Amino acid sequence: MKIKSTVSAVLAMATVLSTFGLAFTKSAEAAPRTFSCKMVSGAWTTLVNESGKPERQLIRWTSDFGGAVGYTSERRCNEVTNRMNLYFSNSGQFITHGMQGREKVICATNSLGKDCINLLYTLKPNQDAKATLEDLFGVNNRNISRDPLREGPCATYISVDALLAGQTHFAQEACFPR
């Protein structure tokens, strides 16, 4: 009988400790990240929402590209925002530019130097994808790391984690065979 009550006490203590451990681990994890699409100052805007931080604007959808075929600013905002919720809920993701089919795109990938994995949105046929990505996120000489020697195609990669954390360096140019 004494052994049975000791075993019960040990099991109860283990349950309490494991519950405390799980709660501690969950609170130590990164804050959940979500994206939303809202009208802000007259323009459809993709916003980022992170626990404990104020909501921040990420992309303002002001172009009428695609409007003639039903891709209004509101629709593009909603579709890209939904994709961002799918692709960027985990850490370690990048936004870059590339080609999908015969179209220039802004896209997501999971590794520096890797081609597009998931489409974010399609660009106009005559649009410079690298310049668009850099303009979109305000890439300049202060926030990009560049390879010292550039031979071959160089792509810009935006670290989603670094960008959203407000880090000074959030972009990197990688010159890899693509």
Same domain, 68 and 109: no
Decide which of 63, 89, 115 is a domain's last residue: 89
104 lies in the same domain as 173: yes
Any domain includes 176: yes
Asked if residue 67 and residue 149 are part of one domain, the reply reads no
CA distance 149 to 13: 60
Domain count, the chain: 2
Q: What is the span of the domain harbouring residue 40?
A: 30-89
Q: Which residues of the chain have pLDDT under 50?
A: 2-28, 148-149, 178
* Residue 111 identity (one-letter amino acid): S
Identify whether 107 is part of a domain.
yes
Distance CA 42, CA 44 (A): 7
Claim to verify: residue 52 and residue 120 sit in the same structural domain: no
In a domain, 137, yes or no: yes
Q: Assess whether 135 and 177 both reside in one domain.
A: yes
Domain closes at, from 89, 108, 131: 89
Which among 71, 89, 107 is the end of a domain? Answer: 89
Q: Please enumerate in sequence order all residues whose Cβ is within 8 A of that of 51, keeping only pairs 6 or more positions apart, or say none.
A: 31, 32
What are the backbone dihedrals phi and psi of residue 103, each rounded to the nearest 5 degrees, phi first?
-110, 140
CA–CA–CA angle 25, 26, 28 (5° rounding)? 65
Do 83 and 143 reside in the same domain of the chain? no
172 and 111 assigned to the same domain = yes
The whole-number pLDDT of residue 75 equals: 94
Per the structure block, which two tokens stand in for 22? 């799980």
Q: What is the DSSP string of 123-164?
A: PPTT--HHHHHHHHTT--TTTEE--SS--S--EEEEEHHHHH
Rounded Cα distance between 21 and 44, Å, is 42
Both 100 and 85 in one domain: the answer is no
Q: Are residues 52 and 105 in the same domain?
A: no
- Supply the pLDDT for residue 67: 73
